[in-house]
Chain A
Amino acid sequence: MAEYHLTTPLTDDDVLKLQAGDRVYLTGVIYTARDAAHKRLLNLIEKGEPLPVDLAGQIIYYVGPTPAKPGKVIGSAGPTTSYRMDSLTVPLLEKGLKGMIGKGKRSAEIREALQKYNSVYFGAIGGAAALISKCVKKVEIIAYEDLGPEAIRRLEVENLPVVVANDCHGNDVYQEAIKKYKKQ
């Protein structure tokens, strides 16, 4: 398993070289969105209206952070479970989304879509929210402030540690893990 330091936005070559299980440290801008924000983005796409952010090459982090304490950039900010976004993801991949960060497994449909759209799904450590927040250097709400923790935020991150969970070649870290460690 390889280790990479990648800077966003991601290129096709960045994504192509990644294999499930690789450790990646991400630096640059990423965007937050979870359940409610996804629904709004899809509504805009359905209506043919522009999105609040150009998704080409970008990464969406499934997170709803806690409010920041005074003097802190962001509150605790670990990943939420990704499967809830499965039915809301393909239209975003069509818009050029290159990566997603969350936790837990994705549907077969999404794993296939990652191959088709040359995109990648990263797993972060669920529950390591105080630790992960240290990687966030700047935060700005860019859309849907009324959604509170579910608003879309632009984060500037440094060396955010993630694992490639699903690569663009059809591999799945969770399935491989069970193959390797399951005892009958």
Chain B
Amino acid sequence: MKTIEYQRIVDTVAKLCMKANMHLNNDVLTAFQASYDNEESEVGKEVLEKLIENAKIASQEEVAMCQDTGVAVCFVEVGQDLVIADGELEKAIAEGVRKGYQEGYLRKSMCHPFTRKNTGDNTPPVIHTRVVPGDNLKITVAPKGGGSENMSALKMLTPAQGKKGIIDFVVKTVEEAGPNPCPPIVVGVGIGGNFERCAFLAKKSLLRPLDEENSDPELREMEKEILERINNLGIGPQGFGGRTTALAVHIEMEPCHIASLPVAVNINCHAARHAEAVL
């Protein structure tokens, strides 16, 4: 039986927090470049150019690409044959977040909802745990900024509204968000499940690399259609106008109740940050 020590989890999470916030993954950089090549708007091109330059500086100097280093969202897959020694998994993850945000000079953004007093160490993280076969521990840290999170939405549609209702709701959510969530955005869509499950699916869909297609042909077509409609809105990079409002639309879907059609739209800014490790 495989044993993973508490401290190893702490150190891994700390490194992932720093890596995700400082080094933008290549799939996003490639998407910036492709958008730059296609962008008609002069100011839109300028914004994309600066975002590429910003990512380079952040990576070279090992500083946060964005000052909003986010809520530390952690997706954890725990192999059911695994033993965690010397402490609790969730405490280890929280300690890793504390360490990573401190040592990486990342901003601490978590606060009390009423008093707004900062917790001082960016804890608590939001942890999504899943027990899976095997004895590995897979941790993905996806720091999520507040500006784009605030523009996200959830709607319990009626079954009669169907695919068209879903598409209209996603496009309307992006249109209303306009320049606020730092376009070009990545749009995560969760369909089905129930109220909380569709929100989770929307968030999870954001982990898919931008250059990876949806494995479901019907959803792949739907993603294309929604992306086209979003990029016809004209919002453009930073809302200054242009063709690139979204870099990608990702959909995750599961069965739902016969009475319901839950849809969640989780908007991610252009800093589509995530880093993972398998122990």
Contacts and interface: CB of A to CB of B under 8 A. Distances in A.
Given A75-B67, A81-B180, A149-B107, A125 B232 contact: no
Interface stretch (A6-14, A50-58, A61-69): A61-69
Interface in B177-208: 178-182
A104 B106 CA distance: 23
Given A66-B69, A66-B105, A181 B242 contact: yes
A7 B167 CA distance: 47
Interface string B47-91: 100110110011001111111110000000000000000000000
B231 to A, nearest CB: 9
A140 to B, nearest CB: 18
Nearest to B118: A148
A68 B105 contact: yes
Contact of A149 (B108, B150, B232, B270): B108
Interface string A170-182: 0001101111111
13 contacts: A36-B116, A69-B61, A69-B63, A103-B179, A123-B179, A125-B47, A127-B271, A129-B67, A130-B54, A149-B108, A163-B240, A177-B242, A181-B41
A114 to B, nearest CB: 17
B234 A181 contact: yes
A104 B50 CA distance: 17
A133 B107 CA distance: 14
Given A66-B64, A76-B65, A126-B269, A182 B54 contact: no
Given A36-B116, A66-B107, 10 more contacts: A64-B68, A65-B67, A66-B64, A81-B181, A104-B239, A126-B66, A129-B66, A149-B107, A150-B118, A174-B239
A174 B62 CA distance: 33
Interface string B28-59: 00000000000011010001001101100110
B105 A69 contact: yes
B53 A131 contact: yes
From DSSP, what is the main secondary structure of chain B's interface residues?
loop
Given A103-B238, A177-B235, A177-B241, A129 B180 contact: no
B63 A66 contact: yes
A13 B40 CA distance: 33
Interface residues of B, number: 49
A130 B65 CA distance: 6
Interface of A: 21, 35-36, 63-69, 72, 75-78, 80-81, 83, 103-105, 123, 125-131, 133-134, 147-150, 163, 173-174, 176-184
A75 B239 contact: no
A11 to B, nearest CB: 26
B147 to A, nearest CB: 4
Given A75-B63, A80-B147, A163-B43, A180 B234 contact: yes
A176 B66 CA distance: 27
A167 to B, nearest CB: 14
Nearest to B228: A183
Nearest to B57: A130
Contacts of B240: 123, 163, 173-174, 177
Q: Which residue, A36, A67, A69, A181, has most C-beta atoms of chain B within 10 A? A: A181
A67 B63 CA distance: 10
Q: Which residue, A35, A36, A184, has most C-beta atoms of chain B within 10 A? A: A36
Contacts of A76: 58, 63-67, 107
Interface in B234-279: 234-236, 238-243, 269-271
Contact of A125 (B57, B147, B235, B238): B238
Contact of B51 (A63, A77, A125, A148): A125
